[in-house]
């Protein structure tokens, strides 16, 4: 099992991974068939992520097959540039093998190197496995987004969760 940064050449396999996740779990945002992005559009999205200092996309690869990912999208303006929003997806057949833990450890190491202060994510309140993973990694629940999603004609609550990488608060020195 290897955790690595995405490359442009991964676009087709990454799109296949995302579509597979859309089909096999209701815990991802998009429903089966809803993802309309082409391989060329995926390449462009990867380029944009790789060009940003405060964004990254990590892949979990097992014997040449992509089995999971963690995307960290950085804020786009000065006031939120220190924040990354995370999206995690792991194929069901590979859950429970420590991949989520390894992805979160890798993104945290990257975030600290980039000077990121806050990592945040949302998780459906009934996704107990993911909730346990995030709490084990040091994320805390900040609030509940009631009826945030509609999944299979049922409204679902989400937790807002975050992890601060630097415990000090207050004034920070700004560059530029």
Q: Could you list the pLDDT tens digit for every one of the 176 residues in the chain?
A: 999 999 999 999 999 999 999 999 999 999 999 999 999 999 999 999 999 999 999 999 999 999 999 999 999 999 999 999 999 999 999 999 999 999 999 999 999 999 999 999 999 999 999 999 999 999 999 999 999 999 999 999 999 999 999 755 555 555 44
pLDDT value for 169 = 56
At residue 15, the 3 state secondary structure works out as helix
Confidence (pLDDT) at 176: 44
pLDDT of residue 166: 74
Angle at 155 between CA 151 and CA 160, to 5 degrees: 95
CB atoms within 10 A of CB 165: 16
Residue 123 token pair:
């998780």
Query: Residue holding tokens 């990488």?
Result: 165
Report pLDDT for 168. Answer: 52
Token output for 95: 């859950």
Q: Give strand pairing partners of 2.
A: 61
| Helix (H/G/I), strand (E/B), else coil: 174 | coil
Look up the pTM and report it: 0.91
Q: Apex CA 160: angle with CA 69 and CA 47, to 5°?
A: 35
CB 92 within 8 A of CB 124: no
């Amino acid at each position: 099992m290897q955790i690595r940064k995405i490359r442009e050449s991964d676009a087709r396999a990454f799109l296949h991974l995302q579509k597979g996740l859309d089909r096999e779990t209701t815990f991802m945002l998009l429903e089966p068939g809803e993802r309309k992005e082409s391989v060329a559009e995926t390449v462009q999205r990867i380029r944009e992520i790789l060009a940003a200092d405060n964004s990254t996309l990590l892949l979990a690869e097992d014997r040449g097959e992509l089995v999971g990912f963690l995307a960290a999208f950085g804020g786009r303006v000065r006031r939120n540039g220190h924040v990354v929003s995370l999206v995690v997806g792991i194929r069901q057949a590979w859950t429970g093998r420590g991949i989520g833990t390894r992805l979160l450890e890798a993104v945290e190491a990257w975030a600290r190197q980039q000077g990121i202060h806050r990592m945040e994510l949302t998780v459906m309140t009934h996704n107990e496995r993911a909730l346990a993973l995030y709490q084990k990694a040091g994320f805390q629940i900040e609030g509940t987004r009631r009826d945030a999603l509609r999944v299979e004609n049922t409204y679902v609550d989400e937790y807002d969760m975050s992890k601060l990488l630097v415990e000090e608060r207050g004034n920070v020195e700004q560059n530029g």
